[in-house]
């Protein structure tokens, strides 16, 4: 399953200049892992030393904030999207 | 060969270059580069080709070092840049300083970071490791930040001994190593403590900026939160040098200090710690010329204009040409320069964002 991921333009130098790209995965958690494996610099900018999402970074699965989801090992559906966003609290 | 000079100006919204020839009369502005990123530190390095290192950070996305080998046309991030381990418990928030290593170590760079720590690269910036002796110092549990964050903002290397390095941190103090960074001692005797709330007097000193006298490597100068100080014994002890700063009830407060290769030092005092803008709106540069022990208000930068601004700790510099040039940038995004030891000042073109760092790079074309 191809899933489309969008990232803020400020981080496009981590993703070969792209603000949208696709990864191949069956589960949401695998898609997130693939994103970080493919573009390892994203990990520095999205996650802190503890391995937690940075305070002012949001990742949405369609319209759901992933930190508020009970589980990430859900099967992806055609048309699903992942959006990496800067929270408004981050400036 | 002719000389080309580039003034590298880091702001909270990107990096800008002012370029001129060695006469420094006409300047061309280019940028922004790295638009949207804070650039707390920048270094032009000509030891192996021409490379610019920029310490970039963002409130949401954290810090990395970015490099350009084509004067800003393209940039790459260093993947193995400074980073703290999960086990350290520290957070890397900004890159406050990037400097070249000692002249005998042409592949070496140092980076000072927030939370305070020191990193070294021995391979021209490709990989970095923390000099853990500093953050494992016994005083570390009592380190506290100043208003700007707990930053290691100054790194000075002894000119003939690459193993002797001084660092300054806010609001921690001065530390010195004599073994290349493996072990450190505190060097804060004589300084004034600031209210960090902790009782241990080994640390708790809010150093704003520190310089090394280019002609005497035992002499250092410092703008500190509570005054201006000098050391003549390699930072073993400090004493105030405040004559002429004309303060009434406040300590001489300011952020930058810079020292020319002829031994002249310059300050830009502010009203007070509480107000942090120019006294009465007058943008005055004070100088203590070599051989003097008194500060003089050398330059009224814009005599007919109110300037209720600040100049941050790394936003002033002096070049190494003859005559030397002085440069600083304000929190309102203007850059000023003087080519006559601070007496007369010009304003460079452009209104930038809040200026965080100003560094000179002299290139042989």
- Calculate mean pLDDT across residues A20-35: 98
Smallest CA–CA distance from A86 into chain B, residue: B60
Which band of pLDDT confidence, cut at 50, 70 and 90, is reported for residue A88? confident
In the predicted structure, residue B138 carries a pLDDT above the cut 90: yes
- The confidence score (pLDDT) of residue B20 equals 98
- What's B33-57 look like in SS3? ECCCCEEEEEEEECECECEEEEEEE
Residue B226 to residue B224: CA distance in whole angstroms:
5
Share of chain B above pLDDT 90, in %: 90
Q: Do A10 and B77 touch (CB under 8 A)?
A: no
- The confidence score (pLDDT) of residue B287 equals 97
Q: What is the largest CA-CA distance in chain B?
A: 57
- Chain A neighbors of B60, CB-CB under 8 A: 54-57, 86-87, 90-91
- The confidence score (pLDDT) of residue B250 equals 67
In the predicted structure, residue A89 carries a pLDDT above the cut 90: no
- Calculate mean pLDDT across residues B142-156: 94
In the predicted structure, residue B118 carries a pLDDT above the cut 70: yes
- Chain A neighbors of B62, CB-CB under 8 A: 44-45, 48, 54
In the predicted structure, residue B136 carries a pLDDT above the cut 80: yes
Q: Do A49 and B77 touch (CB under 8 A)?
A: no
Which band of pLDDT confidence, cut at 50, 70 and 90, is reported for residue B197? confident
- Calculate mean pLDDT across residues A19-33: 97
Q: Do A14 and B77 touch (CB under 8 A)?
A: yes
- Calculate mean pLDDT across residues B331-339: 98
Q: What is the pLDDT of residues B292-316, one digit of tens each?
A: 999 999 999 999 999 999 999 999 9
- Chain B neighbors of A45, CB-CB under 8 A: 58, 61-62, 64
Residue B171 to residue B152: CA distance in whole angstroms:
9
Burial of B297 (0-12, 13-18, 19+ CB in 10 A): middle
Range A70-90 burial, b when 16+ CB lie within 10 A, else e: eeeeeebeeebebbbbbeeeb
Can you read off the two tokens belonging to residue B134?
A: 């500093």
In the predicted structure, residue A2 carries a pLDDT above the cut 90: yes
To the nearest whole angstrom, how far is the Cα of B113 from the nearest Cα of chain A?
Answer: 15
Residue B93 to residue A48: CA distance in whole angstroms:
10
- The confidence score (pLDDT) of residue B248 equals 62
Range A28-67 burial, b when 16+ CB lie within 10 A, else e: bebbbebbeeebebbebbbebbeeebbebbbbbbeeeeee
To the nearest whole angstrom, how far is the Cα of A55 from the nearest Cα of chain B?
Answer: 7
In the predicted structure, residue B198 carries a pLDDT above the cut 90: no
- B58, B76, B91 ranked by CB distance to A10: nearest: B58
In the predicted structure, residue A83 carries a pLDDT above the cut 70: yes
Distance from the first to the final alpha carbon of chain B: 6
Residue A67 to residue B300: CA distance in whole angstroms:
55
Share of chain A above pLDDT 90, in %: 95
Query: Of how many residues is chain A composed?
Result: 91
Let me know: does A28 contact A61? Beta carbons within 8 Å: yes
Smallest CA–CA distance from A55 into chain B, residue: B60
- Chain A neighbors of B76, CB-CB under 8 A: 13
- Chain B neighbors of A57, CB-CB under 8 A: 60-61
B318: number of CA atoms within 13 Å, CB side?
25
Query: CB pairs under 8 A, 24+ apart, for B29-32?
Result: B29/B348, B29/B349, B29/B350, B30/B72, B31/B72
Let me know: does B166 contact B212? Beta carbons within 8 Å: yes
Residue A44 CB contacts under 8 Å (≥ 6 apart), including other chains:
B62, B64, B83
Q: What is the pLDDT of residues B176-191, one digit of tens each?
A: 999 999 999 999 999 9
Residue B75 to residue B78: CA distance in whole angstroms:
10
- Chain B neighbors of A7, CB-CB under 8 A: none
- The confidence score (pLDDT) of residue B127 equals 98
Q: What is the pLDDT of residues A35-75, one digit of tens each?
A: 999 999 999 999 999 999 999 999 999 999 999 999 999 99
Which band of pLDDT confidence, cut at 50, 70 and 90, is reported for residue B365? confident
Q: What is the pLDDT of residues B32-80, one digit of tens each?
A: 999 999 999 999 999 999 999 999 999 999 999 999 999 999 999 999 9
Q: What is the pLDDT of residues B222-273, one digit of tens each?
A: 999 989 999 999 999 999 999 999 766 667 889 999 999 999 999 999 988 8
Q: Do B91 and A56 touch (CB under 8 A)?
A: no
Distance of CA B43 to CAs A45, B6, B164, B222, Å?
Answer: 22, 11, 21, 22
Residue B157 CB contacts under 8 Å (≥ 6 apart), including other chains:
B99, B101, B102, B110, B164, B165
- What's chain A look like in SS3? CEEEEECCHHHHHHCCCCCEEEEECCEHHHHHHHHHHHCCHHHHHHECCCCCECCCEEEEECCEEHHHCCCCCCECCCCCEEEEEECHHHC
Range B250-261 burial, b when 16+ CB lie within 10 A, else e: bbbbbbbbbbbe
Smallest CA–CA distance from A46 into chain B, residue: B61
List A residues 31-90 in contact with B (Cβ-Cβ < 8 A): 40-41, 44-46, 48-51, 54-57, 86-87, 90
Distance of CA A74 to CAs A14, A20, A77, Å?
Answer: 27, 22, 9
Residue B191 to residue B222: CA distance in whole angstroms:
10
Q: Do A86 and B77 touch (CB under 8 A)?
A: no
- The confidence score (pLDDT) of residue B68 equals 98
What ipTM did this prediction achieve? 0.94
Name the nearest CA neighbour of B208 among B277, B258, B249, B242: B258
- Chain B neighbors of A54, CB-CB under 8 A: 60-62
- Give me the phi and psi of B140, to 5 degrees please: -55, -40
In the predicted structure, residue B1 carries a pLDDT above the cut 70: no
Which band of pLDDT confidence, cut at 50, 70 and 90, is reported for residue B147? confident
């Amino acid at each position: 399953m191809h899933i489309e991921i969008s990232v803020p333009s400020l981080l496009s130098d981590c993703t070969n200049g792209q603000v949208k790209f696709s990864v191949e995965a069956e589960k949401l958690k695998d898609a997130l892992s693939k994103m970080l494996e493919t573009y390892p610099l994203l990990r520095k900018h999205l996650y802190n030393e503890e391995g937690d999402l940075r305070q002012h970074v949001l990742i949405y699965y369609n319209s759901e904030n992933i930190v508020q989801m009970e589980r990430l090992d859900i099967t992806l559906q055609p048309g699903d999207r992942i959006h990496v966003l800067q929270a408004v609290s981050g400036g | 060969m002719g000389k080309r000079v580039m003034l590298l100006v880091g702001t909270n919204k990107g990096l800008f270059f002012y370029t001129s020839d060695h006469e420094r009369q006409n300047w061309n502005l280019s940028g922004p580069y790295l638009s949207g990123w804070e650039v707390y530190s920048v270094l032009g390095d000509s030891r192996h080709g021409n490379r610019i290192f920029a310490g970039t950070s963002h409130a949401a996305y954290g810090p990395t070092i970015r490099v350009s080998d084509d004067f800003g046309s393209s940039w790459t991030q260093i993947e193995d840049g400074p980073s703290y381990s999960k086990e350290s418990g520290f957070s890397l928030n900004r890159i406050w300083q990037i400097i070249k290593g000692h002249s005998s170590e042409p592949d070496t760079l140092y980076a000072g970071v927030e939370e305070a720590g020191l990193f070294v690269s021995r391979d021209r910036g490709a990989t970095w490791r923390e000099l853990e002796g500093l953050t494992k110092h016994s005083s570390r549990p009592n380190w506290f930040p100043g208003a700007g964050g707990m930053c290691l903002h100054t790194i000075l290397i002894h000119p003939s001994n690459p193993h002797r390095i001084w660092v300054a941190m806010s609001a921690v103090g001065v530390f010195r190593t004599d073994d290349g960074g493996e072990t450190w001692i505190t060097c804060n005797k004589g300084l004034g403590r600031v209210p960090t709330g902790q009782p241990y007097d080994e640390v708790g000193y809010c150093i704003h900026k520190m310089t090394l006298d280019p002609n005497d490597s035992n002499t250092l100068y410092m703008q500190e939160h509570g005054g201006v100080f000098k050391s003549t014994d390699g930072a073993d002890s400090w004493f105030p040098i405040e004559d002429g700063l004309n303060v009434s009830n406040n300590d001489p407060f300011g952020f930058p200090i810079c020292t020319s290769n002829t031994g002249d030092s310059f300050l830009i005092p502010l009203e007070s710690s509480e107000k942090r803008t120019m006294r009465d709106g007058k943008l005055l540069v004070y100088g203590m010329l070599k051989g003097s022990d008194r500060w003089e208000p050398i330059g009224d930068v814009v005599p007919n204009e109110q300037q209720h601004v600040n100049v941050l700790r790394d936003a002033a510099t002096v070049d190494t040409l003859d005559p030397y040039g002085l440069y600083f940038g304000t929190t309102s995004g203007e850059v000023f320069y003087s080519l006559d030891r601070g007496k007369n000042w010009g304003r460079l073109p452009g209104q930038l964002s809040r200026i965080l760092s100003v560094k000179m790079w002299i290139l042989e074309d």
